[in-house]
Amino acid sequence: GGTRFSGLYLWKELFQRGHEVVLFNRGKTAAKILPRESEEDFNKRVANTRVIKGNRQDAEDLKAKLSGESFDVIYDMNGREASDTAPLADIFNGRVEHFVYMSSAGVYKKSLIMPH
Protein backbone atom coordinates (compact mmCIF):
# COMPACT_ATOMS: atom_id res chain seq x y z
CA GLY A 1 0.00 0.00 0.00
CA GLY A 2 1.08 3.49 0.80
CA THR A 3 -0.44 5.26 -2.18
CA ARG A 4 -4.03 5.75 -1.03
CA PHE A 5 -6.18 6.25 2.05
CA SER A 6 -4.52 5.99 5.48
CA GLY A 7 -1.40 4.28 4.11
CA LEU A 8 -0.47 7.44 2.24
CA TYR A 9 -0.59 9.50 5.43
CA LEU A 10 1.26 6.83 7.42
CA TRP A 11 4.06 6.82 4.82
CA LYS A 12 4.42 10.59 5.07
CA GLU A 13 4.40 10.55 8.89
CA LEU A 14 6.98 7.76 9.17
CA PHE A 15 9.23 9.44 6.62
CA GLN A 16 8.99 12.81 8.37
CA ARG A 17 9.99 11.17 11.64
CA GLY A 18 13.16 9.84 10.02
CA HIS A 19 12.21 6.21 9.47
CA GLU A 20 13.34 4.23 6.44
CA VAL A 21 10.14 3.34 4.60
CA VAL A 22 9.61 0.44 2.20
CA LEU A 23 6.27 0.10 0.44
CA PHE A 24 4.91 -3.15 -0.97
CA ASN A 25 2.21 -2.65 -3.58
CA ARG A 26 1.18 -3.54 -7.12
CA GLY A 27 2.71 -0.38 -8.54
CA LYS A 28 -0.56 0.57 -10.20
CA THR A 29 -1.30 3.79 -8.27
CA ALA A 30 1.08 6.73 -8.51
CA ALA A 31 2.25 8.43 -5.34
CA LYS A 32 0.27 11.54 -4.49
CA ILE A 33 1.27 14.84 -2.98
CA LEU A 34 -0.68 15.47 0.22
CA PRO A 35 -2.44 18.66 1.28
CA ARG A 36 0.04 21.16 2.76
CA GLU A 37 3.00 19.10 1.50
CA SER A 38 5.42 21.06 -0.67
CA GLU A 39 6.47 19.66 -4.01
CA GLU A 40 10.05 19.58 -2.71
CA ASP A 41 9.05 17.52 0.35
CA PHE A 42 6.93 15.19 -1.80
CA ASN A 43 9.79 14.58 -4.25
CA LYS A 44 12.19 13.95 -1.37
CA ARG A 45 9.78 11.43 0.21
CA VAL A 46 9.32 9.58 -3.08
CA ALA A 47 13.04 9.56 -3.90
CA ASN A 48 13.94 8.17 -0.48
CA THR A 49 11.35 5.39 -0.36
CA ARG A 50 11.94 1.94 -1.76
CA VAL A 51 8.95 0.28 -3.45
CA ILE A 52 8.70 -3.48 -3.85
CA LYS A 53 6.13 -4.35 -6.50
CA GLY A 54 4.11 -7.49 -6.01
CA ASN A 55 0.72 -9.06 -5.47
CA ARG A 56 -0.31 -9.68 -1.88
CA GLN A 57 -2.99 -12.13 -3.01
CA ASP A 58 -0.34 -14.42 -4.49
CA ALA A 59 1.41 -16.19 -1.59
CA GLU A 60 4.27 -17.36 -3.83
CA ASP A 61 4.87 -13.80 -5.06
CA LEU A 62 4.90 -12.54 -1.47
CA LYS A 63 7.47 -15.18 -0.49
CA ALA A 64 9.64 -14.49 -3.53
CA LYS A 65 9.62 -10.73 -3.01
CA LEU A 66 9.73 -10.51 0.79
CA SER A 67 11.45 -13.59 2.26
CA GLY A 68 14.88 -11.97 2.02
CA GLU A 69 13.72 -8.70 3.56
CA SER A 70 14.16 -7.62 7.15
CA PHE A 71 11.96 -5.06 8.89
CA ASP A 72 11.56 -3.80 12.45
CA VAL A 73 7.87 -3.02 11.94
CA ILE A 74 5.30 -4.08 9.37
CA TYR A 75 2.08 -2.13 8.88
CA ASP A 76 -0.42 -4.28 7.03
CA MET A 77 -2.89 -1.73 5.72
CA ASN A 78 -4.76 -3.67 3.08
CA GLY A 79 -5.90 -7.03 4.38
CA ARG A 80 -9.61 -7.70 4.31
CA GLU A 81 -9.63 -11.38 5.21
CA ALA A 82 -7.38 -13.72 7.15
CA SER A 83 -6.26 -15.27 3.87
CA ASP A 84 -4.88 -11.86 2.82
CA THR A 85 -2.71 -11.52 5.91
CA ALA A 86 -1.77 -15.11 6.79
CA PRO A 87 0.99 -15.47 4.15
CA LEU A 88 2.60 -12.20 5.27
CA ALA A 89 2.37 -13.22 8.93
CA ASP A 90 3.90 -16.62 8.07
CA ILE A 91 6.83 -15.07 6.18
CA PHE A 92 7.75 -12.77 9.07
CA ASN A 93 6.79 -15.02 11.98
CA GLY A 94 9.54 -14.58 14.58
CA ARG A 95 11.43 -12.14 12.33
CA VAL A 96 9.69 -8.83 12.97
CA GLU A 97 9.39 -6.96 16.25
CA HIS A 98 5.99 -5.39 15.55
CA PHE A 99 3.28 -6.43 13.12
CA VAL A 100 0.53 -3.81 13.04
CA TYR A 101 -2.67 -4.80 11.27
CA MET A 102 -4.88 -1.92 10.18
CA SER A 103 -7.94 -2.27 8.03
CA SER A 104 -11.02 -0.29 7.11
CA ALA A 105 -14.76 -0.41 7.38
CA GLY A 106 -14.63 -2.51 4.20
CA VAL A 107 -13.97 -5.59 6.33
CA TYR A 108 -17.32 -5.37 8.08
CA LYS A 109 -20.62 -6.79 6.94
CA LYS A 110 -22.69 -4.26 5.00
CA SER A 111 -25.14 -2.48 7.26
CA LEU A 112 -27.47 0.48 7.28
CA ILE A 113 -26.11 1.45 10.70
CA MET A 114 -23.29 4.01 10.57
CA PRO A 115 -20.39 3.77 10.23
CA HIS A 116 -20.36 1.39 7.30
H helix intervals, the chain: 5-16, 39-47, 59-66, 82-92
pLDDT above 70 (res 105): no
pLDDT at position 65: 96
Whether residue 116 has pLDDT greater than 60: no
Cα 9 from Cα 102, distance rounded (Å): 13
pLDDT in tens, 25-55: 998 988 999 999 999 999 999 999 999 999 9
- The stretch 19-24 carries a mean pLDDT of 96
pLDDT of residue 81: 76
